Amino acid sequence: MSESEVRQTEVIPQWKREEVDELVDFIESYESVGVVGVAGIPSRQLQAMRRELHGSAAVRMSRNTLANRALDEVDDGFEELKEYIAGQVALIGTNDNPFALYKELEASKTPAPINAGEVAPNDIVIPEGDTGVDPGPFVGELQQVGASARIMDGSIKVTEDSNVLSAGEEVSEELANVLAELGIEPKEVGLDLRGVFSEGVLFEPDELAIDVDEYRADIQSAVSAATNLSVNAVYPTAQTAPTLIAKATSEAKAVGLFANIESPDFMPELISKADAQLRALAANIDDEEALPEELRGVSAADTGAAEEEESTDEETADADEADADADDAAAEDDGDDEDAGDALGSLF
């Protein structure tokens, strides 16, 4: 260390040392710590934002040099946040996950007017419709900034949606005045999350900006596809075992009925089947005296009806079993979807 560096170290004011210590305590107090941009936010609005975040996140403002020193002292990867400390920024801490923090900060942003000299954050469009301004010089101002405007029915109207400035271009004084007159607020004011460090991982905004509903649907679809694959491949898991057992039971019963296996589970169907076969045989015997009394008078029509009823009963039973299998599979899928939804809820 050079003599000048030693001298600078020795003259660090006590208040700076205390500030760094407080910043270190702040960083170590939260599971997730990030850097937010606060440029262009009026002091009163910034205070309101801090109050709204109370209970879920805390904002700590300080000098950039002191924030950098505190991040270095904490280490553990937090020093990676130093690359986002430039301009007007603040530290933000939360015990929520980074996705929930990003979502909350985005939701807290509010529309605001844009001033001359600022860069448009997105395309600025003056919408079609009545401006509510009486005929006068303002129609010329609209036309000058690129809006399609004319006087109609005693008022100044914009005849079509007019893109008057593209994202990234600088706002002129003329356009700023026109937008202010129309009450158009083309930018959003809020805490702009630049980066957040959580559980050893550094996240940037584009990694946190996800569509929660779409993400949930993707997870549910994946769960359903995985369940179907497991069932079709006869690969038992805790989630698919009930469906596989139900399917195997149904198939075993079908084999048992076809092979006439005498089992308590099959007896009602086997008796019905045997009764139908007996009646079919009785219908082909011309000598009724040779038949038991209860089978006398059995006609081919009766036999056909009995066989049809048996077939219908078997089809109904098969349909019921198939429905039961489908219900079991659906129940398993619903359970998995709910589990996936619950897991997702913990993230957002």
Number of CB atoms found within 10 A of residue 308's CB = 11
Distance CA 339, CA 20 (A): 44
Pairing of strands 89-94, 110-112: unpaired
Whether the Cβ atoms of residue 90 and residue 60 lie closer than 8 Å to each other: yes
Report the pLDDT value the prediction gives residue 84, as an integer from 0 to 100: 96
Report the pLDDT value the prediction gives residue 322, as an integer from 0 to 100: 45
Whether the Cβ atoms of residue 114 and residue 172 lie closer than 8 Å to each other: no
Amino acid at 92: I
Distance CA 306, CA 299 (A): 11
Spans of the chain below 70 pLDDT: 1-11, 288-290, 296-348
Q: Angle at CA 85, nearest 5°, toward 106 and 72?
A: 120
Amino acid at 322: A
Beta bridge partners of 165: 124
Whether the Cβ atoms of residue 178 and residue 124 lie closer than 8 Å to each other: no
Q: What is the DSSP letter of 96?
A: S
Report the pLDDT value the prediction gives residue 312, as an integer from 0 to 100: 47
Report the pLDDT value the prediction gives residue 340, as an integer from 0 to 100: 46
What token pair was written down for 136?
Answer: 């006068």
Whether the Cβ atoms of residue 34 and residue 81 lie closer than 8 Å to each other: yes
User: Euclidean distance between the first and final Cα of the chain, in Å?
Assistant: 48
Report the pLDDT value the prediction gives residue 191, as an integer from 0 to 100: 92
Report the pLDDT value the prediction gives residue 209, as an integer from 0 to 100: 85
Please name which of 313, 319, 307 lies closest in space to residue 282, comparing C-alpha atoms.
Answer: 307
Report the pLDDT value the prediction gives residue 343, as an integer from 0 to 100: 44
Report the pLDDT value the prediction gives residue 319, as an integer from 0 to 100: 44
Buried b (16+ CB within 10 A) or exposed e, 270-293: beebeebeebbebbeeeeeeeeee
Q: What is the DSSP letter of 13?
A: -
Whether the Cβ atoms of residue 201 and residue 81 lie closer than 8 Å to each other: no
**Secondary structure class of 111 (helix, strand, coil):** strand
Report the pLDDT value the prediction gives residue 128, as an integer from 0 to 100: 94
Whether the Cβ atoms of residue 193 and residue 93 lie closer than 8 Å to each other: no
Distance CA 128, CA 175 (A): 17
Report the pLDDT value the prediction gives residue 117, as an integer from 0 to 100: 92
Model confidence pLDDT, tens digit, residues 67-114: 999 999 998 899 999 999 999 999 999 999 999 999 999 888 888 888
Beta bridge partners of 197: 33, 202
Domains belonging to the chain, first-starting first, are 14-109+190-210 (3.30.70.1730), 118-186 (3.90.105.20), 215-283 (no CATH)
Whether the Cβ atoms of residue 159 and residue 128 lie closer than 8 Å to each other: yes
Phi then psi for residue 33, to 5 deg, are -130, 135
